[in-house]
Structure 1
Amino acid sequence: MSKKVAVLVAGSWGTALASVLADNEHEVMLWSRNAQQVAQMNEDHRNEKYLPGVDLSPRIHATTSMEDAVRGACAILIVAPSSAMREVTRELKLYRDPASLVIHATKGFETESLKRMSIVIAEELDCDASQIVALSGPSHAEEVVRRCPTTVVVASADLAAAEEAQDLFINSFFRVYTNPDVLGVELSGALKNIIALGAGLSDGLGYGDNAKAALLTRGLAEIARLGLEMGANPMTFAGLAGVGDLVVTCTSQHSRNWRAGSMIGKGQTVETVLQEMGMVVEGIRTTKAAYALAREYNVVMPITDQLYQVLFENKAGKQAVEALMGRVRTHEIEEIAQTQKEDWLRN
């Protein structure tokens, strides 16, 4: 049955998800503050800045009015950058029907508060965070709009809410699983962007596949280490939102975070990279948040530490890699190794 769904905002990922919803015969209202972008989408059915050369469904209608976008919508999908999430949801509160389902597909933290996106949204909408659904997983917008086979996860503490979101999106090329571990899914989606920056940095330095494989593997260990300390389900990190998203973001030409890291590895400054890309690179903000979280939870995150120094303390990329390679020897599986040591000491 066709339903009205509002999508906030009209970046590449928001537009791609709007296309999935339109393919499922839903009426989609895509909101943007940019009047020129809205006019182009309505007149030419294109979003050339973010998805050049892609024809959009006539079921997608763009608007600069958030009130028009959300009026009568059964669900609201928020795909704002993490830095704008609080501002967008604060405006949304003025027009949202409390009965509408709220889904977000943003991978990041609020840098100042270190809060996850579902928490920020719940605070601004005055609702329980358990009512928010998080959509994540290995999914590049450039492939989703071309209907390439893609599999994602929707996470919510409320199974009925997760299944409602699942029903909205699932189709023959966009498969959707549910997961109750919102914390793990949101952490995975945000933190993998840090490792993607590192993978790009390594590639930019010309270090090859061995180095990148090590970064992915040890990066996943870092993500899981922090996630477990915060209370996430360890199985989430082995799933779509964890290792799945990590692999695609660290190895694909479509990944903004990988591209940014590669450009930095080739000698460009962070400021120059951001200006040249002209798009949000969530991994840079996330590195700052993860650096603070690691200290708050007393978790060792060496890759994050070194990237923080590269991004915010002008450390050379080559020196960061040398620092990682020169760390004191340790065991690969830290928890098991620690247990074995305790057993040896007792015996």
Structure 2
Amino acid sequence: MEMKVNLGKDSYPIYIQQGLLDEVLGYIKPIFQGNKIMIISDNQVFSYYGEKIETQLKKEYEVGHIVVPHGEQSKRFDILPELYNELLSFQLTRTDLIIALGGGVIGDLAGFVASTFLRGVKFVQIPTSLLAQVDSSVGGKVAVDLPAGKNLVGAFKHPSLVLIDPLTLKTLEKRFISDGMGEVIKYGCIFDADLFQQLACYTSFDELYQDIDEIIYRCVDLKRDVVEKDLFDFNDRLALNFGHTLGHAIEQYYHYEKYSHGEAISIGMVQLTRIAEAKGLTKVGTADQICDVLKIYQLPTVSHLKTSDLKQAMAVDKKNIYKKLSYVLLHAIGQSYIYPSDLTFIDEVEEV
């Protein structure tokens, strides 16, 4: 399956195909005629796929790799000098290429490095987690974290190519499939009631796997459409942040150690929708619908954190525009809208 993100000079193709990692060189050659490629990955993903990809690419290019520890802790600002120094030692130039091989953390980190090193180097996304395949690898948002909050230092840097091989999901623990399903369910909530109902009908992960290529394509196509309409995240694209205002704050509160990203936004989607229902802003029963689907995929729906403990992180949220937070709410499943308010919006509940 193939699609194109149409952004003028920043347009790029996306390929979704099982077994695609066996053919990486064939996809890279048409978009890159330079000399050197640096692969940035984590220790888990590189152990699975690093040798396979390097062996192919070394037939045409000089190839190096940088491997960081797995997890959100590697997506921090103070790791950057070490990565830049490794690129300098490799003598990577502005006409060379960086490949992000891994999940959302690696895509964000490598993409930010590519956007800033030498004022910009081409890069390719090879997402290996479900979350990265359906969401973070597409759209050009790249970033690193600060102690004060998630993704607070970032840029818009579009890849030259996105290569999605659903077979990489076979190496993931079930928790990380669940993690990605948080983002998949989000797409159903905000844009696609039919997708939401489809997800509600599966009774096992095995049934889900049978349709996973189609589900990935559907989510990516929804994101492609939004990105083409709203490149810089000020209008329609804000809907993609459903559940994230609370979710990012929950992640930060626990120092990214207790909840994965998909788990945290799952809690955020449910709890924000409950607040909106209480205010008459969302159809009653919507939060219960979301809960029912999240439970199928073993995702949490409540954190029992005090809302007062989350406000500091929410105050520095990137969706804070003109001194208002842009809360993403639902009229009903599949119908989202932006509701500007402030931190008092969550005051009706003591915990989420």
**TM-score band, normalised by shorter chain:** 0.3 to 0.5
**Structure ranking higher in strand proportion:** 2
- Greater relative contact order, per chain length (Cα 8 Å cut-off, separation 6+): 2
Structure 1-normalised TM-score? Answer: 0.33
